[in-house]
Amino acid sequence: MKTADRVEFFRRLQALNPHPETELEYQSDFELLISVILSAQATDVSVNLATRRLYKKANTPEAIMALGEEGLKDYIKTIGLFNAKARNIIATCRALLESHAGQVPSSREALEALPGVGRKTANVVLNTAFGQPALAVDTHIFRVANRTGLAIGKTPLIIERKLLKSVPPQYLYDAHHWLILHGRYTCKARKPNCAECIVRDLCRTGRRAGY
């Protein structure tokens, strides 16, 4: 995609949604971290349903540690991979208390050292909690980037690196949310809604389809 087209691509997404936000529900950096860990291979809707109950009972590292692994499972058992996630969350809470005074760290290295936190989770927290221009390439962003021609690659890391170089700087902070929402509601995996897409004329797939 040409530079001018990339600028126009994000200008339109910004015009449609000037202040995009994650659809995960949270009230603190810690709640965000736990919700993002839970969201791996799960929908934001399912995570929100579980955390609405969980955070009323426990929304600090100390409180979740007090629940214990089995107690935590009772709150998150509707979410995929809940056994492993409960184990990782308890271990992460312990690490936060022992190494970070109970606070969520703001560096990639420290975040990725937490159990259950990989590069994608760290990127979400760095971007959403700490305002860093990080891009967490999930299935939606991976699909949108390749399908539109914003960035072509076979792995999320390749796509992430290409997007960081190609997204116009003035749009980089919010690009993560715009691309996720575009993939979730318009550029869907099975049935992309090209007819109502506001960037279809800039998209390599849309152009091939005659838009």
DSSP 171: G
SS3 assignment for 120-156: HHHHHHHHHCCCCCCCCCCHHHHHHHHHHCCCCCCCH
DSSP 18: S
Residues that are catalytic? 120, 138
Residue 208 has pLDDT above 90, yes or no: no
Write down the pLDDT at residue 1: 84
Mean pLDDT of all residues in 175-204: 93
Candidate CATH numbers 3.30.465.10, 3.30.70.20, 1.10.3720.10, 1.10.340.30; the one for domain 29-128 = 1.10.340.30
Relative orientation angle of helices 61-76 and 29-38, to the nearest 10 degrees: 30
Residue 211 has pLDDT above 70, yes or no: no
**Integer Cα distance of 44 and 152 in angstroms:** 26
CATH class, domain 3-20+134-208, is mainly alpha
**Integer Cα distance of 133 and 154 in angstroms:** 22
> Model-level pTM?
0.89
Long-range contacts of 177-180 (CB under 8 A, 24+ apart): 177/17, 177/20, 177/21, 177/22, 178/10, 178/13, 178/14, 178/17, 178/20, 179/140, 179/141, 179/144, 179/145, 179/150, 180/138, 180/140, 180/141
Question: Among 21-35, 54-68, 192-206, where is mean pLDDT lowest?
Answer: 192-206
Write down the pLDDT at residue 168: 94
Mean pLDDT of all residues in 173-201: 93
110: exposed, middle or buried (C-beta count within 10 Å: 0-12, 13-18, 19+)?
A: middle
- Residue 210's pLDDT band (cuts 50, 70, 90): low
Write down the pLDDT at residue 206: 77
Domain boundaries defined on the chain:
3-20+134-208, 29-128
pLDDT tens digits, one per residue of 126-178: 999 999 989 999 999 999 999 999 999 999 999 999 999 999 999 999 999 99
Quick one: which of 179, 177, 140 has its CA closest to 156?
A: 140
Handedness of CA 185, 191, 197, 202 (dihedral sign): positive
pLDDT tens digits, one per residue of 57-109: 999 999 999 999 999 999 999 998 999 999 999 999 999 999 999 999 999 99
